[in-house]
Amino acid sequence: MYLYNVTIKVELDIANDWLRWLQQVHIPEMIATGCFDSATTLRLLENTDEDGVTYAVQYRAPAKADYERYMAEFAPTMRQKGLDKWGEKFIAFRTLMQIVD
């Protein structure tokens, strides 16, 4: 199992609307690609940054091939949708991790 972890810092003035969009639009679209079977949204608590809120979204991919298919077929469009809607009001950092339980 693989985790595609996306850490996002969102400016305060869009934080509530962005979170609603993430939960109601973006995550369902990510799951609908068929590359991920679930997603978990987390909020960083020990964040002293007063100009933004930081979240992490962990998408679970059953196999590395699923993640690779997402990157090849869907990632550019999904990223562009966020940029088109929110502009430069957020920044995202992405990592791929393997679960080793």
Chunked mean pLDDT (size 10), the chain, 101 residues: 97 96 98 98 84 95 98 97 95 96 85
Helix-helix angle 75-86:64-73, to 10 degrees: 60
Question: What does pTM read for this prediction?
Answer: 0.92
Query: What one-character DSSP code corresponds to residue 26?
Result: I
For residue 85, with 0-12 CB atoms within 10 Å meaning exposed, 13-18 middle and 19 or more buried, which class applies?
Answer: middle
Question: Would you tell me how many other CB atoms lie within 10 Å of the CB of residue 82?
Answer: 19
Q: Which residue's structure tokens are 């088109």?
A: 84
pLDDT of the residue at 64 = 97
pLDDT of the residue at 50 = 78
Cα 15 to Cα 13: distance, rounded to the nearest angstrom: 6
**All structural domains of the chain:** 2-98 (3.30.70.100)
pLDDT of the residue at 30 = 98
pLDDT of the residue at 48 = 67
